[in-house]
Structure 1
Amino acid sequence: MKHLTTTAIGAVLSLSFVGEALATEWNVSLWGQRRAFTEHVHHLADAVAEATGGEFTMNISYGGLSDNRENLDGISIGAFEMAQFCAGYHRDKNPSITVLELPFLGVSTLEEEVAVSHAVYNHPATQADLGRWNARLLMTSPMPQYNLVGTGEPRDSLAEFEGMRVRATGGIGELMESVGAVPTSVTSSEAYNAMEGGVVDTVAFAQHAHLSFRTIDIADWWTENLNPGTVNCPIVVNTDAYDALPEDHRAALDAAVDGAIQHYLDNYAELLQRWDAVLEERGVERITIPDEELSSLAENAAPIHAAWIEQMSSQGLPAQELYDLVQTTLAEHRAGN
Structure 2
Amino acid sequence: MIRTLLASAAIAVGTFGAAKAEELKFANFTPPFHTINASVIEKLNADLSAATGGALTVKGYHGGELGAGPAEQYVRVVQGVADIAWGLPGYTSSQFPKTMIVELPNAIPLDVPGYEAIWRSIDDISAEFPGTKPLAIWTSEPNIFIMKDREIRSPADLAGLKIRVAGTTMAEVAEALGATPVQMPINQVYNALQTGLIDGVITGASTLSDFKLDEVANSYTLGANIGRGSFYTVMTAAKYDALPDDQKAAIDAVAGAPLSKSAEDAWNATANAALEAARAAGDNTVIDLSAEEAQAFADAVASVTDKYVAGVGGEATLAKMQGK
Tell me the TM-score range normalised by the shorter chain: 0.7 to 0.9
34-43 or 178-187, larger mean C-alpha shift: 34-43
Please list every run of 5 or more consecutive structure 1 residues that lacks an aligned counterpart in the other structure: 314-318, 332-337
8 Å contact kept, 1:35–1:208: no
Offset at 1:20? 3.3
Structure 2 CA distance for partners of 1:243 and 1:126, relative to 1, 3 Å: same
Q: In structure 1, what is the equivalent of residue 254 of structure 2? A: 256
Q: 3-state DSSP class of the match of 1:106? A: coil
Separation (CA, whole Å) in 2 of partners of 1:269 and 1:82: 23
265-274 vs 291-300, which moves further: 265-274
1:4-43 mapped onto 2 (5 Å cutoff): 4=5, 15-16=13-14, 18-33=16-31, 34-41=33-40, 42-43=42-43
How far residue 184 of structure 1 moved from its aligned partner, in angstroms, is 1.4
The alpha-carbon deviation at position 265 of structure 1 amounts to 5.3
Deviates more, 1:11-20 or 1:175-184: 11-20
1:243-277 CA-to-partner distances (Å, cap 9, x unmatched) read 11111111112223465445445545544156323
CA RMSD of aligned residues (A): 2.4
Using the TM superposition, give the Cα deviation of residue 93 of structure 1 relative to its aligned residue in structure 2, in angstroms.
Answer: 2.0
Amino acid at match of 1:118: W
So what's the TM-score if we normalise by structure 1? 0.85
How far residue 237 of structure 1 moved from its aligned partner, in angstroms, is: 0.8
Using a 3 Å threshold, how does the CA distance of structure 1 residues 152 and 50 change in structure 2: closer, same or farther?
same
Q: SS state of the match for residue 95, structure 1?
A: coil
Q: Give structure 2 stretches of 5+ with no counterpart.
A: none
Q: Which amino acid aligns with 2:126?
A: Q
Query: What TM-score, normalized to structure 2?
Result: 0.88
User: Aligned partners of 1:324, 1:240: CA distance in 2, in Å?
Assistant: 33
Supply the AA of the counterpart residue of 1:40. Answer: S
Cα distance, 1:311–1:324 mapped onto 2, change above 3 Å: same
Give the alignment of 1:37-56 within 5 angstroms: 37-41=36-40, 42-56=42-56
User: CA distance change for structure 1 residues 302 and 224 in 2, over 3 Å: closer, same or farther?
Assistant: closer
Q: How does 1:226-237 map to 2 (within 5 A)?
A: 226-237=224-235
User: Aligned residues: percent identity?
Assistant: 21
The separation in 1 between residues aligned to 2:146 and 2:61, in whole angstroms, is 29
Residue 318 of structure 2 is aligned to residue 323 of structure 1: yes
Residue 281 of structure 2 corresponds to residue 286 of structure 1: no
Which residue of the other structure, out of 227, 235, 244, is the alignment partner of 1:246?
Answer: 244
Are positions 1:108 and 2:110 aligned together?
yes
Deviation string 1:209-229 (CA, Å, 9 cap, x unpaired) is: 121211111222111223411
1:140, 1:234 within 8 Å by CA — same for their partners in 2? yes
Partners of 2:241 and 2:205 lie apart in 1 by 36
Q: Counting strand residues as a fraction of each chain, which structure ranks higher?
A: 2
**1:43-67 CA distance string (max 9 Å, x none):** 1212212222221121212211122
1:309 aligns with 2:309: yes
Matches within 5 A, 1:186-265: 186-257=184-255, 260-264=259-263
User: Which secondary structure state, in structure 2, belongs to the residue aligned with residue 100 of structure 1?
Assistant: helix
After TM superposition, give the deviation of residue 2 of structure 1 in Å.
3.5
2:190 touches 2:211 (CA, 8 Å); kept in 1?
Answer: yes
Say if 1:207 and 1:129 are closer, same or farther in 2 by CA, change over 3 A: same
State the partner residue of 2:159.
162
- 1:29–1:305: structure 2 CA closer, same or farther, 3 Å change rule? same
Q: Which amino acid aligns with 1:298?
A: A
1:175-190, aligned counterparts within 5 Å? 175-190=173-188
Deviation, 1:290, is 4.4
User: Distance in 1 between the 2:262 and 2:87 partners?
Assistant: 20
**Residue number in structure 1 paired with 2:133:** 136
2:93 maps to 91
Answering whether residue 148 of structure 2 is matched by residue 151 of structure 1, we say yes
Give the AA of the match of 1:59: K
Q: Secondary structure at the match of 2:207?
A: helix
The answer to whether the 8 Å contact 1:162/1:181 transfers is yes
Between the aligned partners of 1:56 and 1:43, the Cα distance in structure 2 is 13
Structure 1: distance between partners of 2:165 and 2:150: 19
Deviations, residues 195-214 of structure 1 (Å, cap 9, x unaligned): 01111100122122121211
Which stretch shifts more, 221-230 or 31-40? 31-40
What corresponds to 1:335 in structure 2?
none
The 10-residue stretch of structure 1 (140-149 or 65-74) with the greater mean CA deviation from structure 2: 140-149
